[in-house]
Amino acid sequence: MEEDSQMELKQLTMEEKNKALDLFDTPVQFRPEALKMLSQQELKLILLMEKECIPEKELEKRIGEAGLARCPEALIASAYSRAVLCKVRDENGGLQYQVTDFYSRFPYYAQFEYEEYVRIPRARRELMNQWDLEVYMSYYEDVVKAKMRGEDVFMHDGDFMTLEEACEAVMKQDFICRVPCNCKYMMDVTDKPRDVCIHFRHDDNSAWDRGHGQRITAEQAVELLHEWNKRGLMPNGKPEEEGGFCNCDCPSCYPIQMAKKLGSQGKYPRAYWQIHWDESRCINCGRCTQVCNFQAFTMGEDKKVSFDPAKCWGCTVCTENCPKGAITRTPIK
C-alpha cells in the first residue's frame, strides 16, 4: 500500500493537493500540517469521493477502477481508522462512507499518532489548538450559555461526578473501553495520566469501532478511577447519555477551557456539591493543593494551607484525598 501511496503522490499537482485540502475543510494556515496528517492515498481518496456519501461496495468499486489501491477494502479500513472517513447509515441501515474534515482528523492524529504529532513545532501546535478551541466554542457556546441561564439542555462533559458515582457508572457496564484523551494529547501540557477517557460505546464512528482503545473490565476501571483520582483527575459527564465520560484536568480540558472563558463556574460543568474546609482538622500536608485543578487550595510561604471558596468549582476530588477528613461536602440545593 505504501508503494501505491508514493506512486500516487508523484501524480498529484499542487492544484490537486489544494483541492483535496479544500474538500477536507482545511484552514489555509494549517495546510502544511494537514499534508502530514493525510497519507498520499488519502489525498487521492478525498479527490475521488469529494463530499458524497458512498455505499461501501460502490466505494470499493470506484477505488478499484481509479487504480487507487490494490486492496480497496484495506484503504477504506485505514482511512476510517484514522478518522479521514466516517460511517453514515442510509434509511435502511446500509453502510456508506463520507470524507470527514480537518477538525475531525486533528484530534485523532494527536491521540493515536502522538509520536508524529509532536514532531510538529510546539508553536504551530499551539496555533492549531487555539483554532480548534475557537471552532469547538462556535459549536457549543450557545448551549453553555443556555445552561448558565438555567435551561435544562444537554451538553457533553457537563456534570462533575464524585469518585463513587464514576465507579458506580462503570460497574453497570458490560463493555468498557479505555481511550487516550484527545484534549490532553492535543494540548500536550499535563504530567498527569492521559489515557483516561472511559467509553461504553462501540458503535459506528466510536474509537473502538475505528480500531482504537483498550478493552477493560469494570473492576479494572474502578482501580484506574481511584488511581486517577489521586492524581487530581476529575470524572466529568453523564455516562448513560454520553456513552462514557472523561477524567478531566486543567489546563488541558477543552470543556473547562471554554467554561472559564464563558464564566460558567458551577453551571457548566455543573457542580452538585459545596466544599467545606475545617481548618482545625487540617495538618497542612498539602495534598489538597496537589489535586485541586482550580487553585482553590493553596499553600503559603508559611507552609499553611488556605482555601478560597470563590475559586472552587465543586469537582469533589479534594474531599476524596484529604487524609484527615478536613475537607467535606454537602449537596447544593
CATH number of domain containing 300: 3.30.70.20
* 137 and 58 belong to one structural domain: no
pTM above 0.85, yes or no: yes
Q: Judge whether 100 lies within some domain.
A: yes
The confidence score (pLDDT) of residue 6 equals 44
CATH number of domain containing 73: 1.10.10
3-state class (DSSP) for residue 252: coil
Please state, in angstroms and as integers, the Cα–Cα distance from residue 313 to each residue in 32, 203, 298, 317, 323, following that order: 39, 33, 15, 10, 21
Q: Judge whether 143 lies within some domain.
A: yes
Q: Judge whether 116 lies within some domain.
A: no
* 104 and 136 belong to one structural domain: no
Which of 60, 82, 108 marks a domain boundary? 108
* 248 and 126 belong to one structural domain: yes
Identify whether the C-beta of residue 176 lies closer than 8 Å to the C-beta of residue 221. yes
The confidence score (pLDDT) of residue 212 equals 98
Q: Judge whether 293 lies within some domain.
A: yes
* CA 282/CA 27 separation, integer angstroms: 52
Q: Judge whether 318 lies within some domain.
A: yes
Identify whether the C-beta of residue 48 lies closer than 8 Å to the C-beta of residue 63. yes
Q: What are the respective helix, strand and coil percentages of the chain, to the nearest 5? A: 45, 15, 40
| Sign of the torsion angle spanned by Cα atoms 178, 183, 187, 192 | negative
* 327 and 196 belong to one structural domain: no
The confidence score (pLDDT) of residue 4 equals 52
Please state, in angstroms and as integers, the Cα–Cα distance from residue 192 to each residue in 162, 231, 247, following that order: 19, 7, 11
Q: Which of 270, 268, 257, 266 is nearest to 143 (CA)?
A: 268
* 195 and 297 belong to one structural domain: no
What does 42-68 look like in DSSP terms, one character per residue? HHHHHHHHTT--EEHHHHHHHHHHHT-
Q: Judge whether 115 lies within some domain.
A: no
* CA 1/CA 194 separation, integer angstroms: 32
The confidence score (pLDDT) of residue 11 equals 80
Q: Which residue has the cell 490537486?
A: 16
* CA 154/CA 262 separation, integer angstroms: 17
The confidence score (pLDDT) of residue 10 equals 59
Which of 108, 135, 153 marks a domain boundary? 108
* 164 and 285 belong to one structural domain: no
* CA 303/CA 299 separation, integer angstroms: 6
* 128 and 257 belong to one structural domain: yes
* 38 and 102 belong to one structural domain: yes
The confidence score (pLDDT) of residue 162 equals 98
Q: Judge whether 113 lies within some domain.
A: no
* pLDDT, one tens digit for every residue, the chain (333 residues): 444 544 444 589 999 999 999 999 999 999 999 999 999 999 999 999 999 999 999 999 999 999 999 999 999 999 999 999 999 999 999 999 999 999 999 999 999 999 999 999 999 999 999 999 999 999 999 999 999 999 999 999 999 999 999 999 999 999 999 999 999 999 999 999 999 999 999 999 999 999 999 999 999 999 999 999 999 999 999 999 999 999 999 999 999 999 999 999 999 999 999 999 999 999 999 999 999 999 999 999 999 999 999 999 999 999 999 999 999 999 998
The confidence score (pLDDT) of residue 238 equals 96
* 56 and 8 belong to one structural domain: yes
Which of 77, 108, 139 marks a domain boundary? 108
Identify whether the C-beta of residue 81 lies closer than 8 Å to the C-beta of residue 210. yes
When divided into structural domains, the chain yields a total of 3
C-beta neighbour count of 261 within 10 angstroms? 12
Range of the domain at 73: 2-108
Q: Judge whether 212 lies within some domain.
A: yes
* CA 66/CA 54 separation, integer angstroms: 15
